Chain A
Amino acid sequence: MHFSDTDFEEKVIKSNLPVMVDFFAEWCGPCRMAAPIIDELSETYKNKVSIGKVDVDASTGTAAKYGVQSIPTVIMFRDGKEVDRKVGFGGRGGYEEMIKKVI
């Protein structure tokens, strides 16, 4: 799933489920390390956490709003608010831990 500047409010901020957002860019190597793990986790935890990606090149507004200065940055939102953040490649354990804290 992808989020953009236009649907971020609706799909992330107003979501009933916690939402994990992976800020990435196509040309970023460590983002490519994170991508398959994020995909797998979104399958494993579907219906419990909504998981999606924001392309920082395409959605510069959202990336700037949340002060993303390093990619990948993964932010967990609950009730529209940031509750957790991991900067740089976090590994499966790191991302799974973020999810377990909110479910």
Chain B
Amino acid sequence: MNVGNVIVIGGASAGYTAAIYLARATLSPLVLAGENAGGQLMFTSEVENYPGFSKGIKGPDLMDEMRKQAERFGAEIKNENVTKVDFAGEVKKVWVGETEYQAKAVVLALGASSRMIGVGEEKYYGKGMSTCAVCDAAFYKDKTVFVVGGGDAAMEDALALARFTNKVTIIHRKAEFRASKIMQQRVLTEKKIPVMWNTEVVGVIGSNKLEGIRVKDKTGKEGDVVADGLFLAIGHTPATDILKGQVELDGHGYLITNMTSNKSQMNQEIWLNSYPTQTSAVGVFGAGDMVDIRYRQAITAAGMGCMAALDVEKFLTGSFGSW
């Protein structure tokens, strides 16, 4: 079997950036971007904080651009879902169903997927429950809707919905948001968007479609409210299921690299002479939201993808600098 230089698993900010650098280093990366190529940014509208786009850019458009940029330099990109990996040997093996790919190095950049509340809301998917307010807001004109969450995504969702209905409420389990100040400000100064602080959704009600939700405040008091729509923005879990047993993960499923490992001390020695983005498996590197337990931005994912690519280049060729 033909053993390639490097396989990038994942096709969003981190994976595409790694592919751009690897392709420019003439390492001919194969990118298995997944059927959900583009990742979380495909569920957003305007990205306002990605440098270089002073007027903002649509999340899906940013992903298209990154992909085309990687292809321009020769990256081969397939929207295929990896089903199994074997990183034990020197040659890394990656499967898409029955098809096997081999390479000397791998970059893992599979990102993260939307979290559910877990109170049975799945059965109302498309019948009142949504994880993409930007996609579905227009279907909720003048309806009573709730957004659950406290991050930037929840703020964006609430603002998107407020363009179509006056009845948007944010439900947040804490007493303050963790969203960026500018997004918080937009929500908190928008009279149309009240916030239920210190409140959790503990149940969903309805027959054929969502009709209401059960909420619980911090005193433990429960109550039912009428709801036509429930939009979830309660964060993401790293998409590391297929990696179990192959590379070290932390208790929450995040992929551990030298940068995030408790065992290594990230001193200048590692930055200069080792591989900050390498995982517990030699020749396997990690980047983006599946690694990042702290920043989780498109730009930090892209930055980490670049770092992983440079680490791969050094791993394969002994030096880097050909980008």
- Does B131 count as interface, using CB distance less than 8 angstroms? yes
A31 to B79, CA, bound (A): 14
A-B contact count (CB 8 A): 70
The total of chain A residues at the interface (CB under 8 A) is 22
Q: Which residues of chain A are within 8 angstroms of B63 by Cβ–Cβ distance?
A: 29
Residues of A within 8 A of B126 (CB): 68-70, 73, 85, 87-88
CB distance B132 to A30 under 8 Å? yes
10 A/B residue pairs, CB under 8 Å, sorted by A: A32-B60, A33-B36, A33-B37, A67-B127, A68-B126, A69-B126, A70-B135, A87-B126, A89-B36, A92-B35
The tally of residues in B whose CB lies under 8 Å from a CB in A reads: 27
A69–B35 touching, CB < 8 Å: no
- A29 and B133 CA atoms in complex are apart in Å by 11
* Docked pose: A30 CA to B79 CA in angstroms: 13
Specify which chain B residues have a CB less than 8 angstroms from the CB of A70 in the assembled complex.
125-126, 130, 132, 135-136, 139
CA distance A88 to B136 in the complex (A): 10
User: 10 extra interchain contacts, Cβ-Cβ under 8 A, other than A27-B45, A33-B42?
Assistant: A27-B60, A29-B38, A29-B44, A29-B63, A30-B132, A33-B35, A67-B127, A69-B126, A70-B139, A91-B36
| Residue of chain A at shortest CB distance from B229 | A69
By beta carbon, the residue of chain A nearest B79 is A36
A interface footprint on B272-309 (CB within 8 Å = 1, 0 otherwise): 00000000000000000000000000000000000000
CA distance A59 to B134 in the complex (A): 19
- B residues whose Cβ falls under 8 Å from a Cβ of A: 35-38, 41-45, 58-60, 63, 79, 81, 125-128, 130-132, 134-136, 139-140
> In the complex, are the beta carbons of A88 and B35 less than 8 A apart?
no
Shortest B93–chain A CB gap in Å is: 22
Q: Which of A28, A36, A69: most chain B CB closer than 10 A?
A: A69
Residues of chain A within 8 A (CB-CB) of B135 are 25, 28-31, 70-71
Cβ of A69 and Cβ of B136 under 8 Å apart?
A: yes
Interface: A98 (CB within 8 A)? no
> Which residue of B has the minimal Cβ distance to A85?
B126
Binary flags per residue of A28-56, CB closer than 8 Å to B gives 1, else 0: 11111100110000000000000000000
Give the residue of A25, A32, A91 whose beta carbon is less than 8 angstroms from that of B81: A91
Question: How far apart sit A49 and B38, CA to CA, in the bound complex (Å)?
Answer: 29
**C-alpha spacing A101/B125, complex, angstroms:** 22
* A70 and B145 alpha carbons, distance in the complex (Å): 14
| CB closest chain-B residue, reference A73 | B126
Residue of B whose beta carbon sits closest to that of A32: B60
A69 touches B128 (CB 8 A): yes
The verdict on A37 contacting B42 (CB below 8 Å), with A31-B135, A70-B136, A87-B126 known, is: no
Q: A29-B41, A33-B42 are in contact. Are A68 and B139 (CB under 8 A)?
A: yes
Q: Are A69 and B139 in contact (CB under 8 A)?
A: yes
Instruction: List, in ascending order, chain A residues with CB within 8 A of B79's CB.
Output: 36-37
CA of A25 to CA of B63 in the docked complex: distance in angstroms?
Answer: 17
9 nearest A-B pairs in the assembled complex, by CB-CB distance: A87-B126, A29-B42, A70-B126, A29-B60, A69-B139, A28-B135, A70-B136, A91-B35, A71-B135
In the bound complex, do residue A32 and residue B139 qualify as a contact, i.e. CB atoms below 8 Å apart?
no
Residues of B within 8 A of A67 (CB): 127
The complex places the Cα of A18 from the Cα of B64 at a distance, in Å, of 33
Among A68, A70, A85, max chain B CB count under 10 A is at A70
In the complex where A87-B126, A88-B125 touch, is A71 in contact with B136 (Cβ < 8 A)? yes
C-alpha gap A34/B199 in the complex (Å) = 35
> Closest Cβ of chain B: how far from A55's Cβ, in Å?
13
Closest B residue by C-beta to A33:
B36
A87:B125 contact, CB within 8 angstroms: yes
B60: chain A residues at CB < 8 Å are 27, 29, 32
> Which residues of chain A are near B139, meaning CB under 8 Å?
68-70
A27 to B58, CA, bound (A): 9
